[in-house]
Amino acid sequence: MTIEISATHPQPTHPGLIRVVKCPGEYMSYAVADRDIEKNQVLSYLDKATLAKNAYTSVQVSPTEHIELNSDLVYINHSCEPNVAFVVGIGGGVHDYYLKSLKNISKGEALEFFYPSTEYSMSQPFKCLCNTKSCLGEIKGAESIDKDTLNQFPLNDHIKLLKSL
């Protein structure tokens, strides 16, 4: 899924790291790597994030809390074979929330994360269009995915807690 939003933050927010590809139409814009990225790198701390209500642009960080990224990171879309992950630690401090690469990423490659790794129940479920071999089809959040399938993905602690993993 891609999102069409009007940026309320100055752009670009991560020059040299990501570039937003703006496309006409609803849910068509996306983020790509602006340089080659090695596996297991912390790409960005989520230091512009603010607490928010559950929305299609928010990221869930605990069983009850969501944040808005307030940056171009909001253009990172979903894939059932993600190359990045939002890591949201229990502490809630600036360095407890960050974006991490899961594999080597080439310059120009779309940045994608597995939405149910942070989202238990999505405010706006959607039909996945990632077209990967492991595509789950309908993405509604971790709540609707069986434990065996979820365990194949990197998950945040609040999702493990809510799913009793």
Domain residue ranges in the chain: 18-163
User: Which tokens hold the place of 93?
Assistant: 């401090």
Is pLDDT above 50 for 8? yes
Percent of the chain with pLDDT over 90: 80
CATH number of 18-163: 2.170.270.10
- The pLDDT tens digits of the residues spanning 10-49 come to 788 999 999 999 988 777 899 999 999 999 999 999 989 9
**Cα-flanking dihedrals φ and ψ of residue 127, to 5°?**
-80, 120
120 contact partners, CB below 8 Å, separation of at least 6 = 60, 63, 141, 142, 143, 158, 159, 162, 163
Contact 76, 50 (CB under 8 A): no
Beta strands of the chain (E only): which ranges?
A: 18-21, 30-33, 42-45, 50-52, 58-60, 66-68, 77-78, 84-88, 97-101, 112-113, 126-127, 138-139
